[in-house]
Amino acid sequence: MLGGGELGEQYELQEGAPPPARASPEDGLHGAHLRAGYWRYESTPRTDHAWLTLSRSILADFSRFYNFTFDVVTIPAADDAVSLVADGRVDVLLNFLTVTPQRQRRVTFLSPLVKTHKTFLVRRPPLVSGFTFFAAFDVTTWLTLLAVTVATAATTAALDGRLAPWREHAADRGGGEGCASDRRGSALLAYYARYVFGSLLKQGGPRLPAATPARVMLATWWCFAIIVAALYGATIVSLLAIAQAKQPFTSLAQLSAGGTGVQPVVVRGQSIIELLSSSPADSDLGRLWATIDGVDGATVDSMPEGLRRSLRGDAAMTGNGVEMVLAMMEDEEEVLGHDAAGQPFCRLALSPVRFLPANMAWSLPLGSPYASVLDHAMVRSIESGLFAKWLNDIFPIWLKLCMNHPETTMQTTALSMGHLSGTFLVLVYGGVVAAAVLAAETAFHHLRKVGRRHFFQRQG
């Protein structure tokens, strides 16, 4: 048995937090003596001590303002703590149990003190530079860019060559010296191929086309080339400036499909087993369970064992994010390291893959007369910020190094066609304008020929 007696007199309420209202004699807590239980897990003494210290602090503050006493009894790990609560052998269980439908049918949970997600504990991947010459765009974008460049060269050559209705009047229209239209056939195509490829490197060529549609096409291409070159340069800079952490897997589906070299691991007796095993077989969670159920070594007996498996890099322990971070206190010497500059770093991290929100709370027997008042006190403690302060006071600061927050993590990515679709539309619009100019000039040239024919007929 730990503690006991008038514990409300041994703890002082933290300053700055509004105390919950005192209970009235009708609420069932006034003058009562609570028998509180704590389910102790011997393989995690450091974590247990931190959780127990936190729970005793909370309950002691409640006892002061609600005028009750309590004592805390430890429950061996071999016993089912939920059954002890359901049978009424303890008035309140101070462990932060994960709220599950199966447990809610047996006990009453207070408002959750801890809100987290199910996730994976993995060996922290090394930070690497993402720079390579082709890293700015993905494969599809590079192939599309190559195809568009070739097509632009061929289109420009055609607009300035075979499709130009004024070829025989090229000299009158500005052809001749200094015009690309002086060239014919394959030479013209080769020239424009060098021109459009060179424009991506901000080069171009010494001669411009004589045909207006070809000039419109090249002007559009220059707008496109400038945008692509700017995007490529900016992405390369970001790849050099921002080191990326290459995660071993990025989704449940990828992990469930295998091939990642990482085996999902669960801890025997934890709520994650109930949640995964009850999931439909054709769901991501069901497929994840199929990679665990019956697999040798996929179920471990304790969180420290799962933590050591994660440290090796070939396994990812699955469970509540908060619980797994706190379990690192058990192997601080193995988990915490220092770089060449002496700065601390964590060898483990929570995976960005999160699923199944998890609420963790105290539990009481069904129909407990203390549930309403304790729940009200719990809500007030959360809203006042008192609980957050307790957490900061009790748990070591270095644990924050082991937390990975995907919503704030900076990362770079290769630009896909989805990113560049608007840029390629510039070429489409330019092609439409060039086609319209070609049609207009063709019509104008035709009308001019008809007019000349009629003129000479009248003269003759």
3-class SS string, the chain: CECCCCHHHCCCCCCCCCCCCCCCHHHCCCCCEEEEEEECCCCCHHHHHHHHHHHHHHHHHHHHHHCCEEEEEEECCCCCHHHHHHCCCCCEEEEEEECCHHHHCCEEECCCCEEEEEEEEEECCCEEECCCCCCCECHHHHHHHHHHHHHHHHHHHHHHCCCCCCHHHCCCCCCCCCEHHHCCCHHHHHHHHHHHHHHCCCCCCCCECCCHHHHHHHHHHHHHHHHHHHHHHHHHHHHHHCEEECCCCCCHHHHHHCCCCCEEEEECCCHHHHHHHCCCCCCHHHHHHHCCCCCCCCEECCHHHHHHHHHHCCEEEEEEHHHHHHHHHHHHHHHEEECCCCCEEECEEECCCCEEEEEEEEEEECCCCCHHHHHHHHHHHHHCCHHHHHHHHHCCHHHHHHCCCHHHCCCCCCECHHHHHHHHHHHHHHHHHHHHHHHHHHHHHHHHHHHHHHHHHHHC
Q: Which domain holds residue 216?
A: 139-242+415-459
Q: Answer yes or no: are the C-beta atoms of 63 and 8 closer than 8 Å.
A: yes
Q: Is residue 194 part of a domain?
A: yes
Q: Rounded to 5 degrees, what angle do the CA atoms 330, 99, 78 make?
A: 50
Q: Is residue 177 part of a domain?
A: yes
Residues of the chain with pLDDT > 70, as a percent, come to 80
Task: Inform me whether the pLDDT recorded for 160 exceeds 50.
Answer: yes
| Mean pLDDT (the chain, rounded) | 78
User: Tell me, what's the pLDDT at 243?
Assistant: 59
Task: Inform me whether the pLDDT recorded for 129 exceeds 50.
Answer: yes
Q: Is residue 259 part of a domain?
A: no
Cα separation, 449 vs 145, in Å, equals: 40
User: Tell me, what's the pLDDT at 341?
Assistant: 77
Task: Inform me whether the pLDDT recorded for 458 exceeds 50.
Answer: yes
Mean pLDDT of 412-438: 72
User: Tell me, what's the pLDDT at 363?
Assistant: 93
Cα separation, 179 vs 149, in Å, equals: 21
Give residue 421's Cα distance to chain centre. 24
Q: Is residue 451 part of a domain?
A: yes
Q: Is residue 285 part of a domain?
A: no
Mean pLDDT of 145-163: 85
Question: What tens digit of pLDDT does each residue of 295-314 get?
Answer: 898 999 888 888 889 988 88
User: Tell me, what's the pLDDT at 377?
Assistant: 87
Q: Is residue 355 part of a domain?
A: no
Q: Comparing 354 with 168, which gets the higher pLDDT?
A: 354
Task: Inform me whether the pLDDT recorded for 171 exceeds 60.
Answer: no
Q: Is residue 378 part of a domain?
A: no
Domain count within the chain: 1
pTM, two decimals, is: 0.56
User: Tell me, what's the pLDDT at 356?
Assistant: 84
User: Tell me, what's the pLDDT at 192?
Assistant: 86
pLDDT level of residue 258 (50, 70, 90 thresholds)? confident
Task: Inform me whether the pLDDT recorded for 6 exceeds 60.
Answer: no
pLDDT level of residue 212 (50, 70, 90 thresholds)? confident
User: Tell me, what's the pLDDT at 380?
Assistant: 85
Q: Comparing 403 with 453, which gets the higher pLDDT?
A: 453
Task: Inform me whether the pLDDT recorded for 8 exceeds 70.
Answer: no
Task: Inform me whether the pLDDT recorded for 182 exceeds 70.
Answer: no
Mean pLDDT of 108-127: 85
Q: Is residue 148 part of a domain?
A: yes
Query: What torsion, rounded to 10 degrees, do the Cα atoms 115, 120, 125, 127 define?
Result: -30
Q: Comparing 438 with 405, which gets the higher pLDDT?
A: 438
User: Tell me, what's the pLDDT at 132?
Assistant: 65
Mean pLDDT of 406-424: 59
Q: Answer yes or no: are the C-beta atoms of 156 and 209 closer than 8 Å.
A: yes
Task: Inform me whether the pLDDT recorded for 348 exceeds 80.
Answer: yes
